[in-house]
């Protein structure tokens, strides 16, 4: 499109804006403020943050708490991919686990405010905000008259339209046991979001055991379900992102059932035993 450069500039600005509002690594972010005032004061937040939290809660409840945005204290404890990464003591995990419960997030539409009921509770929207950012970038592209684009936010792919020659975009799904860039399979898509959660992106290993960044809220430890890669194909990336993290933890059987019940959403799972499972709408399409 003629306005491609402008669209990209606007997009980068928007992604930074979202990061500044939602990152737990920035003490001035809206999410950090909610956490700081947990058990004390509700915080008025921007439309962006309100929307992400409200969508996140929907996926917490759909996944029956496998996805839980109050996982913050446990994520902080493990610090996976960060300087202080470590295997925490089981007592520490037990203690922090008491604070995890998305049902304690109080949202007030009238004031656009968010409140965590208990002190020490912490929200982490790291499992869903990237999807929102991808959707926002897509909207900026459309606003600038762009008909053909591929948006890649690392694990979150969103394709707009077809390739310039009119053929579908081809998206590769990373092979979880090979080096980055080697795909296990590809899918052809037009106007879709393709989001993958995997155990191979951020992790550390101790004595051959891998500790990755997707935490099972019922144990406080990295998920040990049979899934090692969960891909969600949907129209909006926020839905794909919220779902991918949750179903990863649920395991393949429950995941296939849940995704099968959601209209317009498909999934591909790769398991520990190197099998590939797909929802019925994906059969023959990869
Ligand atoms: P994703 O890459 O979208 O699967 O998101 C992983 C990120 O989500 C982690 O880095 C954490 O910030 C956060 N997270 C980890 N476990 C959970 C969970 N059970 N529920 C919600 N967010 C989580
Ligand atoms: Mg996610």
pLDDT band at 220 (very low <50, low <70, confident <90, very high): very high
Ligand 1 pocket test, pick from 64, 71, 128, 200 with the greatest ligand atom count within 8 Å of Cβ, gives 71
Residue 20: the pLDDT is 98
Ligand sitting nearest the alpha carbon of 212: 1
Ligand sitting nearest the alpha carbon of 243: 2
Contact 247, 258 (CB under 8 A): yes
Question: CB 35: neighbour CB atoms within 10 A?
Answer: 22
Q: Is the pLDDT of residue 284 over 90?
A: no
pLDDT digits (tens, 9 = 90+) for 159-192: 999 999 999 999 999 999 998 889 999 999 999 9
Mean per-residue pLDDT for 129-139?
98
Contact 46, 30 (CB under 8 A): yes
Q: Is the pLDDT of residue 236 over 90?
A: yes
pLDDT band at 67 (very low <50, low <70, confident <90, very high): very high
**CA of 284 relative to ligand 1 center, distance in Å:** 30
Nearest CA to ligand 1 atom 18: 67
Contact 156, 193 (CB under 8 A): yes
Nearest CA to ligand 1 atom 10: 213
Say if ligand 1 is within 6 A of residue 196 CB. no
Residue 190: the pLDDT is 96
Q: Is the pLDDT of residue 82 over 90?
A: no
Q: Which is higher by pLDDT, 57 or 82? A: 57
Average pLDDT, the chain: 96
Residue 216: the pLDDT is 98
Mean per-residue pLDDT for 76-83?
89
Residue 280: the pLDDT is 92
Residue 155: the pLDDT is 79
Ligand sitting nearest the alpha carbon of 100: 1
pLDDT band at 19 (very low <50, low <70, confident <90, very high): very high
**CA of 127 relative to ligand 1 center, distance in Å:** 4
Q: Is the pLDDT of residue 84 over 90?
A: no
Residue 24: the pLDDT is 96
pLDDT digits (tens, 9 = 90+) for 196-215: 999 888 888 888 888 999 99
Angle at 222 between CA 217 and CA 227, to 5 degrees: 100
Say if ligand 1 is within 6 A of residue 244 CB. yes
pLDDT digits (tens, 9 = 90+) for 137-163: 999 999 999 999 999 998 799 999 999
Ligand 1 pocket test, pick from 75, 240, 255 with the greatest ligand atom count within 8 Å of Cβ, gives 75
Region of 262 (left: φ > 0; alpha: ψ -120 to 50; beta: rest) is beta
Residue 55: the pLDDT is 98
Residue 251: the pLDDT is 96
Say if ligand 1 is within 6 A of residue 68 CB. yes
Provide CB contacts within 8 A for 270, sequence distance 6+. Answer: 173, 176, 184, 227, 228, 229, 276
Q: What is the DSSP string of 251-282?
A: -HHHHHHHHHTSTT-EEEEEETTS-EEE-GGG
> Cα–Cα distance between 245 and 229 in angstroms, integer?
10
Ligand 1 pocket test, pick from 73, 215, 230, 243 with the greatest ligand atom count within 8 Å of Cβ, gives 215
Ligand sitting nearest the alpha carbon of 248: 1
**CA of 131 relative to ligand 2 center, distance in Å:** 7
**CA of 265 relative to ligand 2 center, distance in Å:** 15
Angle at 167 between CA 192 and CA 196, to 5 degrees: 30
Residue 83: the pLDDT is 86
Residue 114: the pLDDT is 98
**CA of 197 relative to ligand 2 center, distance in Å:** 6
Nearest CA to ligand 1 atom 3: 127
HSE-CB at 176 with a 13 A cutoff on CA atoms is 24
Say if ligand 1 is within 6 A of residue 213 CB. yes
Residue 283: the pLDDT is 87
């Amino acid at each position: 499109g003629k306005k491609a450069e402008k669209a990209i500039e606007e997009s980068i600005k928007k992604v930074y804006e979202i990061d500044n509002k939602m990152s737990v690594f920035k003490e001035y972010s809206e999410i950090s403020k909610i956490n700081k005032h947990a058990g004390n004061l509700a915080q008025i937040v921007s439309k962006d943050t309100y929307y992400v939290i409200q969508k996140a809660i929907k996926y917490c409840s759909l996944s029956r708490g496998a996805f839980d945005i109050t996982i913050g204290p446990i994520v902080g404890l493990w610090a996976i991919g960060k300087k202080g990464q470590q295997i925490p003591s089981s007592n520490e995990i037990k203690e922090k686990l008491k604070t995890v419960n998305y049902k304690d997030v109080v949202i007030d539409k009238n004031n656009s405010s968010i409140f965590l009921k208990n002190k020490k509770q912490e929200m982490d929207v790291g499992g869903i905000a990237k999807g929102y950012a991808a959707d926002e970038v897509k909207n900026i592209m459309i606003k600038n008259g762009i008909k053909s684009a591929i948006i890649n936010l690392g694990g979150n792919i969103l394709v707009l339209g077809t390739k310039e020659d009119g053929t579908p975009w081809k998206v590769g799904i990373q092979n979880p046991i090979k080096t980055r860039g080697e795909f296990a399979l590809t899918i052809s898509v037009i106007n879709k979001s393709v989001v993958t959660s995997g155990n191979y992106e951020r992790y550390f290993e101790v004595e051959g055991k891998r500790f990755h960044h997707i935490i099972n809220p019922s144990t406080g430890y990295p998920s040990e379900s049979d899934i090692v890669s969960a891909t969600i194909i949907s129209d909006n990336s926020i839905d794909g992102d919220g779902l991918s993290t949750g179903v990863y933890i649920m395991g393949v059987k429950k995941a296939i059932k849940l995704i099968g019940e959601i209209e317009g959403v498909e999934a591909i799972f790769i398991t520990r035993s190197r099998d590939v499972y797909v929802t019925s709408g994906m059969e023959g399409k990869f």
